[in-house]
Structure 1
């Protein structure tokens, strides 16, 4: 695959080429392709659980490829929290008709693995993971998409942070140390 990780693109945009910022059409294209990729995965009942800029390859035309499915899990249809409205010609309708996708979905559902709260890179962890929820769904990927979108926006001219401003952690006491909160032992 020709391209580079979104992380590398953002780093180069901010550090190596200070006069260059992502242009609005590039940002729109990135966000559109990311949203479509998530819709595709979720339509197959697959939750990635480790989306981050390092796991997104940006091609020269600004289309994207999501990689590193090591933490991904398939959820049974009745456990899906997101419901998509489908109609003729709808992009998700086309994904659903894919025989390869259906075969992959059936294979993934034949093997069950428990959902773990020890997933998602720290900076991208949604509240349900931080709070040790064991019953979560595609919303964890949607939260991460929001974090990634924020990084992309901050890399554009309109949303660039002033040099003296630092980003802060949303859940400082829980999201960084330890990897996930540890339940206190009852005595």
Structure 2
């Protein structure tokens, strides 16, 4: 049974997915990544990110020298595969949104990977939440403010936790400072997968 924690406007469904549910989604993600393999993106400044990423859905979020944006195709040219039904079911249960997600960003964190504080603001409709699903190793999730700077809070997210960023938290800065590599046995080689579901248009 999930335990709901409210932190700085972020709604955390701790333990939302049991082990069987996590394993099912990982199996579906293997199918997604066969169709749209993980790649290492670069920022507009040309700096390689420490995470590897892919997407599912009508759109994928990409970054390269041309900037941050959504595209309807993988950088290698193939269309993104559909979002797995098991992932859509999470959105339908927790998002409280009449629209379906159009993008499921897949971020893979290996040992030493992190994600700096950022806002999710490349979408057209901020009334729709962002829903984040953690799988694998624990990640230290940092929660900031709408503007840069100021006090932040942090919480460790475990495999199976789901975070909803809606209302006051929708445009707050957030990131992952580090992972506890090897803290979970879900992924045979270790690491953390984060799924981020968004309405784009």
Q: Larger Rg: 1 or 2?
A: 1
TM-score, scaled relative to structure 2: 0.23
Relative to its length, the structure with more strand (as a share) is: 2
TM-score, scaled relative to structure 1: 0.24
Relative to its length, the structure with more helix (as a share) is: 1
